[in-house]
Amino acid sequence: MGTSGAFSKSDRGDTNEIDLKKKDKECDEFSKYLLDRMRQLEEYNTRLKEETRKIESEKKFAESQKVKYEREVRRLRSEIERMKAPPLLVGTVIETLEGDKVLIKSSAGPHFVVNVSTFIKKGEIYPGAQVALNQQSLAVVNVLPSPKDPLVHGMEIIETPTVGYEDIGGLETQIEELRETVELPLVAPERFERIGIEPPKGVLLIGPPGCGKTLLAKAVARETNATFIRIVGSELVQKYIGEGARLVREIFLLAKEKAPSIIFIDEIDAIGAKRIDTGTSGDREVQRTLMQLLAEMDGFDPRGDVKLLAATNRHDILDPALLRPGRFDRIITVPVPTFDARVDILRIHTRKMQIAEDVSLERLAALTPDATGADLKAIVMEAGMFAVKYGRDKVEWRDFERAIDKVMNASSRPSLQPKDSSVMFA
């Protein structure tokens, strides 16, 4: 029994040991498995974390992208709005009325009483201001800058030109006469009052092209410190009926505003040609412009501080109404320069040039018997160009000889031949 008991005991002990060992082993394996698993999970976790970080940064990027595109969409939308917005009409304020209303004249012609946007301050709207109008209600939505400029566009206002009497060669008698008729009434009107005479209203400069008519007018304006308003006659010839006349009216208004001033109409033959009944509407429009000019001339005081000056090289085709007393009643002829005048003009234009000793201005003047001031200026210029071309330090006689040849023998001088110009007007 004992043995059996011992056996059984030892036997049981054996099995216990084996069991334990087995369990140990299982435990070991299990913990190894767990550890493995844990490591795996940890790895998996870090991978996931990394993935989240990546995705998050992607999300952030996408969000910023979204903001960017939204902004772009907004910009394009507003651009579309802007492109689709109806145009505003342009009008002129005639009068401001009680209760935020104004009387305006639309560009099409009729007058309207309209509202004003509350964004516009009271002081900004005044009679004569140019305003932008809503197309449907014609309400004033904007005040346009400086109303005069667009109206009298094409007109050149030189406050004070840079040309003086010292820049004009010859023409002493013409300068003297201009001073008496234009400058004196502006600077000393009392002298005319004392004697009891009226200075001439308008002065007309006539003579072939390029002899200094425009130059003279500019010089007078500078010496008198007057505002110089220059307009070329052809610019008064407008496309629409009544436009030319309106321009003339506005020029005179502007001149009064900026007085003392000189209105200079260059190439006046464009509107002042003899009225012939050809009957085309374009001619009638030109005549209407001329009539407005005559009316304006009749309407202003010769002793006032606005002087009228005009120039033309075709005074033979001018309408006699323009030359009547009380209109352009003083005519000053600006002739082709004489020998002495040519020397003078050459001296003026070579003032700033490096000239070699062998150049004689007198000899040059003798070689250019029928050159105008503009021709002489061109000759001096061309001579300078030759000197530059050949790399000289000074302009030499041969440069001038070449220049004379180039300028005076150019075939492109038809405007000086009277027979050609008459063909143009025939």
214 is in an annotated binding site: yes
Least Å distance, CB 264 to ligand ADP, is 10
Least Å distance, CB 206 to Mg ion, is 11
Binding site partner of 254, from ligand ADP, Mg ion, none, Cβ cut-off 5-8 A by kind: none
Least Å distance, CB 352 to ligand ADP, is 13
Least Å distance, CB 372 to ligand ADP, is 6
Q: Which is nearer to ligand ADP, 11 or 362 (CB)?
A: 362
Site membership for ligand ADP, residue 384 (CB under 6 A): no
27 is in an annotated binding site: no
Site membership for ligand ADP, residue 168 (CB under 6 A): yes
Q: Which is nearer to ligand ADP, 130 or 372 (CB)?
A: 372
* Sequence-ordered list of residues with C-beta below 8 angstroms from that of 94, at least 6 positions apart, any chain: 102, 103, 104, 105, 111, 127
Q: Which is nearer to Mg ion, 83 or 424 (CB)?
A: 424
Query: What number of residues does the chain have?
Result: 426
Which residue in the set 209, 260, 304, 335 belongs to the binding site for ligand ADP (CB under 6 A)?
A: 209
The single-letter code of the amino acid at 167 is: D
**C-alpha atoms less than 13 angstroms from C-alpha of 172 in its C-beta half-sphere:** 6
Site membership for ligand ADP, residue 373 (CB under 6 A): yes
Site membership for ligand ADP, residue 211 (CB under 6 A): yes
Residues 184-243 that bind Mg ion (CB under 5 A): 213-214
213 is in an annotated binding site: yes
Site membership for ligand ADP, residue 379 (CB under 6 A): no
315 is in an annotated binding site: no
The single-letter code of the amino acid at 209 is: P
Site membership for ligand ADP, residue 170 (CB under 6 A): yes
Q: Which is nearer to Mg ion, 205 or 290 (CB)?
A: 205
Site membership for ligand ADP, residue 315 (CB under 6 A): no
Question: How many of the chain's residues bind ligand ADP (CB under 6 A)?
Answer: 17
Site membership for ligand ADP, residue 213 (CB under 6 A): yes
What CA–CA distance (Å, rounded) separates 215 from 5?
Answer: 150
Least Å distance, CB 311 to Mg ion, is 6
Binding site partner of 120, from ligand ADP, Mg ion, none, Cβ cut-off 5-8 A by kind: none
Q: Which is nearer to ligand ADP, 210 or 233 (CB)?
A: 210
Site membership for ligand ADP, residue 133 (CB under 6 A): no
Of 57-65, 67-75, 208-216, 317-325, the window that binds ligand ADP (rule: CB under 6 A) is: 208-216
* Binding-site residue positions for ATP: 210-215, 349
* Binding-site residue positions: 210-215, 349
Site residues, Mg ion (CB under 5 A)? 213-214
Site residues, ligand ADP (CB under 6 A)? 168-171, 209-215, 311, 345, 348, 373-374, 377
